Amino acid sequence: MTLAKDYNSVMGRSNDIMKKALGLDYKDFESGSIAFDYETLMKSTGYTLDEVTRIQSRTGVGNTPLLELKNLSALSRKYAKPGYGARIFAKDEASNPSGSFKARRAACAVAHAKKLGYKGVIAATSGNYGSAVASQAAMQGLECIIVQECYDSKGVGQPEIVEKARKCEAFGAEVVQLTVGPELFYSFLSILEDTGYFNASLYSPFGIAGVETLGYEIAMQCRELYGKDPDMVVCTNAGGGMVTGTARGLMKAGAKETKIVAASIDLTGLHMASDKQFNLKSCTTGHTGFGVPYATDPDHSDVPRSAARPLRYMDRYVTVTQGEVMYMTEALANLEGVERGPAGNTALAAAFSLAQELPEDAILVISETEYTGAGKHVQPQLSFARDNGIDIRFGDPAEDKPGVNIILPKDPSFIKCKEADIDRFRASLIKKACKAHNVEEPTEADLEFLAVETKSSVEFVKNVIANL
């Protein structure tokens, strides 16, 4: 029987499509209410940390260097009070085959797809994950399709996204490019159903298990080289996988005192699904347009229950501006001789400011760098911004207005990350969870789950619910 392929019909079959495309039945982890068994979901991969490490090493993924950014550390100290200004390190994930930490997620997911006998893999992503999946599929002998939200309704593509499409195609993947809007998930599901390929989702437990090796390596390298755990690890935050996996890896290494800070570019006011506003952003990942909704509602992803749950792990959430990230991208190249793309430099811009809060002997690690390329460089992004009517000037980034201007700091003292209200995000998650599951009186298990989910307490959860 031929299945109906209209939007409503395909979306109505989403759970069945996902089950077939992942080899996981998410009903096995459900309680029938808000709570679900997250740790059992993570164990469902069947792989230990050592096994994931071995899988990654077969394709040259992982074991990346930890670079001390001595010149940027020294510059940061100039703006700190005496005795302050932590040593800043970068985990150089650009050393991975596809040029980003996403290779860790992809290696695990693609290997599992091959183990289960799938002929190909599919991922819905406009970011570095696409090239990571394409690279791993090429290495492991599977077909690959990347579904990418790339253009506005006029057919104009954001330079950074177009660059990533070129990289995917270089690895032999088929790239399906779509305009911004609700058709992304529909098209993704429809292609999964038609091909029978594996869903190499960013948000599956296989992907997050792959990131755990990153956190583990950071802890072990800091101990081996400097005799201590990192005091703080700053993670660029979009969908939440970096924060989740890195924190879990640090915990598995026993680095339980390390503070986890999430950092996103503040794009408040720009709607990510808006055709008109799609090309008004000049950084396409690591921003609040993804970071906030995925933190407060992690399950609105391409799997029934996301394994990326960042509010479980972050101690702080800070924001920076597009101009600050572009400035730090140039500073990294000019002062350290390290040219890297914008995603990791979101964490670096935050780290430059955060380092000034810590003593000189403290170790602050940014958890990633990423490759750079034609569409990722600062100048193409700024040229594209000018073409879209964005005002670009040097000044105080505090005057930044997303979609209106890009303010490059007039000197490094103006690089100051802003503290986001993490308790507000926690309350938002609790409210959304109650609404999504139509729960007015949560069970004790629900309350305990939400407390863990928000890294808070049962009392905090109860207070939020009482004020609904």
pLDDT tens readout for residues 361-417? 999 999 999 999 888 999 999 999 999 999 999 999 999 999 999 999 999 999 999
The highest-level CATH class for domain 61-99+211-419 is alpha beta
* Domain range summary for the chain, segments of one domain joined by +: 61-99+211-419, 422-466
- Alpha helices by DSSP H, listed for 120-196, are 128-140, 159-170, 183-195
Specify whether the backbone of 96 is left (phi greater than 0), alpha (psi in -120 to 50) or beta: beta
Residues 6+ apart with CB under 8 A from 405: 390, 391, 392, 393, 399
Rounded Cα distance, 403 and 281, in Å: 6
Rounded Cα distance, 104 and 19, in Å: 23
> In terms of C-beta density within 10 A (0-12 exposed, 13-18 middle, 19 or more buried), how is residue 227 classed?
exposed
Q: Is the pLDDT of residue 462 over 80?
A: yes
Q: Which residue has the higher pLDDT, 272 or 60?
A: 60
Averaged pLDDT score across all residues of the chain: 95
Own/partner pairs for 287-294, CB < 8 Å, 24+ apart? 287/238, 287/346, 288/264, 288/319, 290/238, 290/239, 290/264, 291/237, 291/238, 291/240, 291/262, 291/264, 291/317, 292/264, 292/425, 294/238, 294/239, 294/240
Specify whether the backbone of 286 is left (phi greater than 0), alpha (psi in -120 to 50) or beta: left
Residue written as tokens 């693609």? Answer: 110
Question: pLDDT tens, 413-451?
Answer: 999 999 999 999 999 999 999 999 999 899 999 999 999
Rounded Cα distance, 39 and 194, in Å: 32
Percent pLDDT > 70 in the chain is: 100
Crossing angle of helices 102-116 and 241-252, rounded to 10°: 90
CB 302 within 8 A of CB 188: yes
pLDDT for the residue numbered 378: 93
Rounded Cα distance, 409 and 425, in Å: 28
How many helices and strands, by DSSP H and E, does the chain display? 18, 13
Is pTM beyond 0.85? Reply is yes
Termini Cα distance of the chain: 47
Rounded Cα distance, 103 and 370, in Å: 11
Q: What is the residue type of 26?
A: Y
Q: Provide the token pair at 100.
A: 């980003």
Residues 66-92 have a mean pLDDT of: 98
Residue written as tokens 């890297």? Answer: 340
How far out from the chain centre does Cα 153 lie?
Answer: 26
